[in-house]
Amino acid sequence: MAIRRLPSPQQSTGLLVYLIETLSDTKRTRVKEILRSGLVHVNGASSTQHDIQIGPHDAVEIRSERAVVQRSLPFDVLFEDGSLFVINKPNGLLTVGNKHEKNRTVESIVNQALASQRQRCYIVQRLDLYTSGVLLLAKTEPAQKKIKDNWGKSDKFYHAIVEGAPNPTQATLTHFLSEDERLLVHASRTPDRGAIKATLSYETLKCQDAHTLIRVKLKTGKKNQIRAQMSAIGHPIAGDAKYGATTNPIDRLCLHASSLTLLHPTTNQRVTFTAPLPNGMDL
């Protein structure tokens, strides 16, 4: 692996500003590409953060290959580059902290893992505590903003086991969601004051005994949307006692974010990330 060591900056400055000045014979767009690619190392750690501050005591290198980062994480990393960090979130792990839990969250765990590279993550989406599957985080604020700006163009698919057999076997559901003081989301057919419109479509994949495996495509992404809407049509998600389920075939909420397709914030190409179904959810 070839390594190009750059002279240390004479004074404190942002990393991208320093690179543009130091690599004056390289086009600005190429310098940005090198930084995004993870080939720039500061004090031995890969960094893609354009605005981190470096000074006379920092060693800056450009390497010909990305470093392989060894991490011990309580979940599988589905994809990582200079802009994205995509994981298969396990059931029972918060996406972000709340008043009861600050440390055992995806956000906290990923930030601790990225700290050695002088990087951090930025929240793009959230999954409920007991929902597993594809969870996307951004590694820069510009990437976070671009993903959110284009979020309406993304395709979000879930798999769920519901109680009973939905009829028809495929349909589009539109409800108006409102949350009560118990933090329970109610799905109504009428647009009550303050309610939020939510739409999804589902299709039946397999039926077995008193349960049905369905595939859901979210048209909108609202809190507890799938759980509330399926409960509203009489087919709550198995394991979801909060929304009326009376069975729990695999000892967990039977809801899994199985696939996410979106525009990559750097390449502008459509990319798809998938997470395999948990044990027992294939019926």
The mean of the pLDDT values for the chain is 92
Examine the domain organization and report whether 226 and 242 are in the same domain: yes
Examine the domain organization and report whether 47 and 110 are in the same domain: no
CB 149 within 8 A of CB 226: no
The whole-number pLDDT of residue 67 equals 60
Distance CA 61, CA 52 (A): 15
Distance CA 269, CA 142 (A): 16
The whole-number pLDDT of residue 46 equals 76
- Does residue 48 sit within a domain? yes
Nearest CA to 159 out of 83, 244, 92, 230 is that of 230
Each residue's pLDDT tens digit, 177-197 = 999 999 999 999 999 888 999
Report the CATH number that the domain containing residue 36 is assigned in CATH. 3.10.290.10
Each residue's pLDDT tens digit, 199-213 = 999 999 999 999 999
- Which tokens sit at 172? 């589009």
Residue where one domain finishes, among candidates 37, 63, 89: 63
Examine the domain organization and report whether 168 and 221 are in the same domain: yes
- Does residue 224 sit within a domain? yes
- Does residue 276 sit within a domain? no
Examine the domain organization and report whether 136 and 177 are in the same domain: no
| CA R_g for the chain | 22
Examine the domain organization and report whether 228 and 240 are in the same domain: yes
Each residue's pLDDT tens digit, 51-72 = 888 888 888 999 877 665 678 8
Each residue's pLDDT tens digit, 91-134 = 999 999 988 888 899 999 999 999 877 789 999 999 999 999 99
In percent, how much of the chain has pLDDT > 70? 98
Report the CATH number that the domain containing residue 236 is assigned in CATH. 3.30.2350.10
Say which residue, 217 or 36, is predicted with more confidence: 217
Examine the domain organization and report whether 226 and 192 are in the same domain: yes
- Does residue 270 sit within a domain? no
- Does residue 199 sit within a domain? yes
Work out how many domains the chain is built from and give that number: 3
Say which residue, 39 or 70, is predicted with more confidence: 39
Residue where one domain finishes, among candidates 101, 128, 153: 153
CB burial of 94-129 (b: ≥16 within 10 Å; e: otherwise) equals: bbeeeeeeeeebbbbbbeebbeebbbbbbbbbbbbe
- Does residue 105 sit within a domain? yes
51 is catalytic: no
Examine the domain organization and report whether 43 and 114 are in the same domain: no
Q: Which of 128, 155, 240, 282 is catalytic?
A: 128
- Which tokens sit at 229? 């809407």
Q: Is pLDDT above 70 for 1?
A: no
Examine the domain organization and report whether 139 and 193 are in the same domain: no
Q: Containing domain of residue 59, as a range? A: 3-63
